[in-house]
Structure 1
Amino acid sequence: MRNIVLSYLLLPFVAGLSFATIAAPATLSSTPSPVVATAESGADSRPLTLNLNTADAEALQKALNGIGKAKADAIVMYRDEHGPFTSVDELLEIKGIGKALLDRNRDKLTVD
């Protein structure tokens, strides 16, 4: 009888521990997150822009929202095949990049 009572008391405790372990937040890795540098001009600060004609795939992937490895590689490949970009709007020619994605990142991009 004592064993049954103890098992009924310990079961919720053990179950609670297992749920707490599963729900605990993951530990952060030791690698720092990428930080976008800002250019100070008086009271206003704005993020630096990324040149589409000189940026590599890794820089594009880190600096732009919604751009992963595949799209960053596609941007570099398009630039290699068609020459330098003449306008930021030329990104719309790349498969997988639409108007919404371009508008989200337009202020971060430049073409020189």
Structure 2
Amino acid sequence: MFKQARSTIAAFALALSIGTAFAAVDVNTASSDALRGVKGIGPAKAKAILDERQAHGPFKDANDLSTRVKGLGGKTVQRLEAEGLTIGAAPKTAAAAPGNAAPPGAANSAVATPVSASTSAKPVVVKK
């Protein structure tokens, strides 16, 4: 009984650590606490990133981040990206363009599908 409980607790702890290890942190929207959650960013680097972002706006890419923040070279930024740091929002897909329908199965889509008025369409009546 004790071994099974210990195994369950160990599996739960492993699942939690994996879930937090791969959480993406966007350098353009993250708070100081979120930035410090990325392995390799301490309080001083988080402050430097936030100060630079506030003074000169969002970072365009990894090169922009490494150029603007003192102490963050190209290799360091690559390592931070491997640890979950992202730069900029996720790229927009064609589905998000106006007039395009959402992909099948997309939940909570903000894209509206145009409805055309048809004189031949008849209402559907559902009987219980």
Task: Output the TM-score relative to the length of structure 1.
Answer: 0.54
Aligned-residue RMSD, C-alpha? 2.3
Assess, with a 3 A threshold, how the Cα gap between structure 1 residues 83 and 47 changes in structure 2: closer, same or farther: same
Aligned-partner Cα distance in 2 for 1:36–1:73: 26
More helix by share: 1
Higher relative contact order by CA 8 Å / sep ≥ 6: 1 or 2? 1
Aligned-partner Cα distance in 2 for 1:84–1:36: 29
Matching residue of 1:89: 63
Q: Post-superposition shift, 1:49?
A: 1.4
1:69 alignment partner, one of 24, 38, 43: 43
Return the letter of the residue paired with 2:60.
Answer: T
Does structure 2 conserve the Cα–Cα contact (< 8 Å) formed by 1:88 and 1:109?
no
Deviations 1:57-106 (A, max 9, x none): 1111112x221101110000110011111113322121111122111112
Q: Displaced runs of 4+ in structure 1, greater than 2 A?
A: 34-38
Return the letter of the residue paired with 1:78.
Answer: E
2:29 alignment partner, one of 46, 54, 64: 54
Task: Output the TM-score relative to the length of structure 2.
Answer: 0.48
Larger Rg over CA atoms: 1
Does structure 1 conserve the Cα–Cα contact (< 8 Å) formed by 2:62 and 2:74?
no
Q: Post-superposition shift, 1:48?
A: 2.5
Matching residue of 2:85: 109
Provide structure 1 residue ranges, at least 5 long, that are not aligned to the other structure: 1-33, 39-45
More strand by share: 1
Aligned-partner Cα distance in 2 for 1:36–1:74: 28
Q: How many residues align?
A: 71
Q: Post-superposition shift, 1:52?
A: 1.2
